[in-house]
Amino acid sequence: MTIKQLSVFLENKSGRINEVTKVLGENGINMHAFSMAETTDFGILRLIVSDVDKAVEVLRAKNFAVVLTDVVCICCPNVAGALAKILDKLAAHQIFIEYMYAFAQGDQANIVIRPSDLAECLKWLAEEDCRVLGDQQL
Amino acid sequence: MIWNKNKECMSRDELRDLQGKRLHKLVDLVYHNTPFYREKMQEMDLLPDDIRTIDDIVKLPFTTKADLRDNYPMGLVAAPMTEIVRIHASSGTTGNPTIVGYTYRDLEIWKEVTARALTAYGVTRGDIVSVGYGYGLFTGGLGAHYGVEHLGATVLPTSTGNTEKHIRLLRDLGVTGLACTPSYALYLAEALNKQGLTGADLKLRIGAFGAEPWTENMRREIEERLGIQAYNIYGLSEIMGPGVAYECGCKNGSHIAEDHFYPEIINPETGEVLPLGQEGELVLTTLTKTGMPLLRYRTKDLTTLMPGTCDCGRTSVRFTRILGRSDDMLIIRGINVFPSQVEAVILEIPEIAPRYMLVVDRKNNLDTLEVQVELRPDSFSDDMGSMLALKRKLSDRLKSVLSISAEVKLVEPNSLPRSEGKSTRVIDKRVLA
């Protein structure tokens, strides 16, 4: 099970992130989590949002370059050492992580990861009994 | 098809004879009617009768844009004001604008050469040509307009500005010809796509593009996107306007209307006339104009003359695609850089939109060149590695073409300024510093 992540191309100049959040806000789209990858002149804003299809539509209408990517959202207890345990297992199975970011909700922690091999990653997570969330469970 | 076979396919000997006779008359005219030229000729100990054949042209003085500005507004006009029926002015970004006065006969010649150009592209009676050059002081709009009418085709004087209406009229009227700047043609293609349309939804078949340098890649892109044959039209207001030279169906160089405009190629630094086939600055003499005739006007356009009869049958000399204007040329770290070179590289890379902005600056006493390009929305990838690879691909290509390294900056789709006329593509911050 994977979830859809929304990526937005942004120039490095003030006000660009505001523009994205404003467009999403005006259209009643909530952001669950986001992270920013940046270089000197541009960045990629990665978002997990409440209505991904609508988000694509409204951002494209505003001329943003957007793309959807399948990512894995792992759910673990929000306690010390929980993430380390999962990452250890993935490393043991040679799963390479291209990027990741996390968000906590009370006693539950969610980790979004983009593995180099999606199918392999999902297979091992299932085998190791790790809880993985789908779009509906966010 | 050929509009004026007599003149366009004249034997070279006959043509040179005609050019010599016309030059002699011209020199006589300016000597007696333009104090500027009389003084120059007197300084050089030249009398009109010293100019007998076209080969004597090298004895005559050059005219530069600065001469036009210094004699602002009407100092170089040879005809009395009662004979001048129209005035055009070119956009002066610095200093005085350039003013050109036309007699009735000048306008007749202009119509004739523009009709020759349109005929060479395949425009005939029955075609509807939309003129998307700016109408007004700029020569593009009215120049193309009267050429279309003279030919007997239908002109749609669209001018610049309202692209949506333009597209609507192109569709509703089944317009078959388009005359505008090449950058506006691309802008139009983009605007079409935005409405969910393509070139296939239009009846356009011929495009006459000019007023700014463009490349073979740009021609391919315009032809593909609009589904047309795209041809170069060359002109400059000082000499006449569009129609001074034009491509034919062979798309192999632009034919100069040599019975009216005599071309030479010179070394831009020394002024020395270069042998046929060598690259240099194009110099034009208006052989038949009477309003504001110019001797050996330095166009600043860099090109090469191609000898020989063209496959189309025209004997008039052609020049190769203009590499750039010596005016547009940037000197960055001592290297000559033309915006058209950058454009050619950008058009080779499909992930990037055909639009750019060059920012030249000086940091720590070193010139820097930043090339801003727009990412195409469908080329965006969440993978940072492939985005950086795209940047690297472009900067590697630029380096190999320009011989200097440029900083590539990827900007958001549709964020670079769009221009419906001549595009402004260079910001040189060094001048301001």
Pick the CATH number of B330-432 from 3.30.300.30, 3.90.1170.50, 3.30.1370.140, 3.40.50.720: 3.30.300.30
| pLDDT reported for residue B216 | 85
Task: Tell me which chain A residue has its CA closest to the CA of residue B381.
Answer: A67
Q: What is the pLDDT of residues B287-345, one digit of tens each?
A: 999 999 999 999 988 899 998 999 999 999 999 988 666 667 788 887 778 887 888 88
Could you give the CA distance from residue B300 to residue B277 in angstroms, rounded to a whole number?
A: 17
Q: How far apart are the CA of B171 and the nearest CA of chain A, in angstroms?
A: 25
The answer to whether the Cβ–Cβ distance between A67 and B381 falls below 8 Å is: yes
Q: Which residues pair with B229 in a beta bridge?
A: B206
| pLDDT reported for residue B327 | 67
| pLDDT reported for residue A40 | 87
Residue from A11, A59, A70, A101 whose CB has the most chain B CBs within 10 Å, to mutate:
A11
Pick the CATH number of B1-323 from 3.30.499.10, 3.40.50.12780, 3.40.50.1980, 3.40.50.720: 3.40.50.12780
Q: What is the pLDDT of residues B2-58, one digit of tens each?
A: 999 999 999 999 999 999 999 999 999 999 999 999 999 999 999 999 999 999 999
My answer on whether A78 and A29 are in the same domain is: no
The number of folded domains in chain A is: 2
pLDDT surpassing 80 at residue A27: yes
pLDDT surpassing 60 at residue B433: no
My answer on whether A93 and A36 are in the same domain is: no
Residue environment code for A25-36, b if the CB has 16+ CB neighbours within 10 A, otherwise e: eeeebebebbbe
Task: Tell me which chain B residue has its CA closest to the CA of residue A45.
Answer: B382
Out of A32-36, B90-94, B303-307, B359-363, least confident range: B90-94
pLDDT surpassing 80 at residue A109: yes
My answer on whether A55 and A89 are in the same domain is: no
Cβ proximity of B83 and B74 under 8 Å: no
Domain containing residue A44: 3-69
pLDDT surpassing 70 at residue A38: yes
The answer to whether the Cβ–Cβ distance between A98 and B380 falls below 8 Å is: no
Q: What is the pLDDT of residues B224-255, one digit of tens each?
A: 999 999 999 999 999 999 999 999 999 999 99
Could you give the CA distance from residue B135 to residue B157 in angstroms, rounded to a whole number?
A: 8
| pLDDT reported for residue B422 | 47
Residues of A with CB under 8 A from a CB of B: 5, 7, 9-11, 16, 37, 39, 41-42, 44, 46, 60, 63-67, 69, 98, 114
Task: Tell me which chain B residue has its CA closest to the CA of residue A5.
Answer: B382
Chain A hits for B381, CB-CB cut-off 8 Å, are: 67
Instruction: Among A16, A65, A69, select the one facing B375 at the smallest CB separation.
Output: A65
Q: Which two tokens stand for residue B202?
A: 């239009």
The answer to whether the Cβ–Cβ distance between B380 and A63 falls below 8 Å is: no
Q: What is the pLDDT of residues B181-238, one digit of tens each?
A: 888 898 899 899 989 999 999 999 999 999 877 888 889 989 999 999 999 999 999 9
Closest alpha carbon to B234 in B251, B214, B254, B219: B254
H or E stretch at A49: strand A42-49
Cβ proximity of A132 and A1 under 8 Å: yes
Could you give the CA distance from residue B116 to residue B312 in angstroms, rounded to a whole number?
A: 13
Q: Would you call A94 helix, strand, or coil by DSSP?
A: coil
Confidence of residue B93 (pLDDT cuts 50, 70, 90): very low
The neighbour count for residue B335, using CB atoms within 10 Å, is: 12
What percent of chain B clears pLDDT 70, i.e. is strictly above it? 96
| pLDDT reported for residue B323 | 67
The answer to whether the Cβ–Cβ distance between A66 and B381 falls below 8 Å is: no
Q: What is the pLDDT of residues B127-176, one digit of tens each?
A: 999 999 989 998 999 999 999 999 999 999 999 878 899 999 999 999 99
User: Which residue ranges does chain B devote to CATH 3.40.50.12780?
Assistant: 1-323
pLDDT surpassing 80 at residue B80: yes
Taken as a whole, chain A contains a residue count of: 138
Cβ proximity of B394 and B356 under 8 Å: no
User: Which residue ranges does chain B devote to CATH 3.30.300.30?
Assistant: 330-432
My answer on whether A57 and A104 are in the same domain is: no
Last residue within a domain, chosen from A69, A102, A124: A69
SS (H, E, C) B153-187: CEEECCCCCCHHHHHHHHHHHCCCEEEECHHHHHH
Q: What is the pLDDT of residues B367-414, one digit of tens each?
A: 899 999 999 999 999 999 999 999 999 999 898 888 889 999 999 998
| pLDDT reported for residue B404 | 86
The answer to whether the Cβ–Cβ distance between B412 and A9 falls below 8 Å is: yes
Task: Tell me which chain A residue has its CA closest to the CA of residue B372.
Answer: A41
| pLDDT reported for residue B92 | 52
Beta-strand pair B98-103/A131-133: unpaired
DSSP letter string, B374-386 = EEPGGG--S-HHH
Could you give the CA distance from residue A66 to residue B381 in angstroms, rounded to a whole number?
A: 8
Task: Tell me which chain B residue has its CA closest to the CA of residue A115.
Answer: B383
Confidence of residue B429 (pLDDT cuts 50, 70, 90): confident
Chain A hits for B384, CB-CB cut-off 8 Å, are: 37, 39, 44
Higher per-residue pLDDT: B343 or A48: A48
Cα-Cα-Cα-Cα torsion B416, B422, B424, B430, nearest 10 degrees, comes to: 170
Last residue within a domain, chosen from A69, A88, A103: A69
The CATH number assigned to the domain holding A13 equals: 3.30.2130.10
Could you give phi then psi for residue A108, rounded to 5 degrees? Answer: -115, 135
Please report the beta strands in B22-124, taking only residues with DSSP state E, as ranges in sequence order: 84-90, 98-103
My answer on whether A40 and A57 are in the same domain is: yes
| pLDDT reported for residue B332 | 86
My answer on whether A65 and A75 are in the same domain is: no
Chain B hits for A98, CB-CB cut-off 8 Å, are: 383
My answer on whether A48 and A80 are in the same domain is: no
Residue from A9, A39, A118 whose CB has the most chain B CBs within 10 Å, to mutate:
A9
Beta-strand pair B84-90/A108-115: unpaired
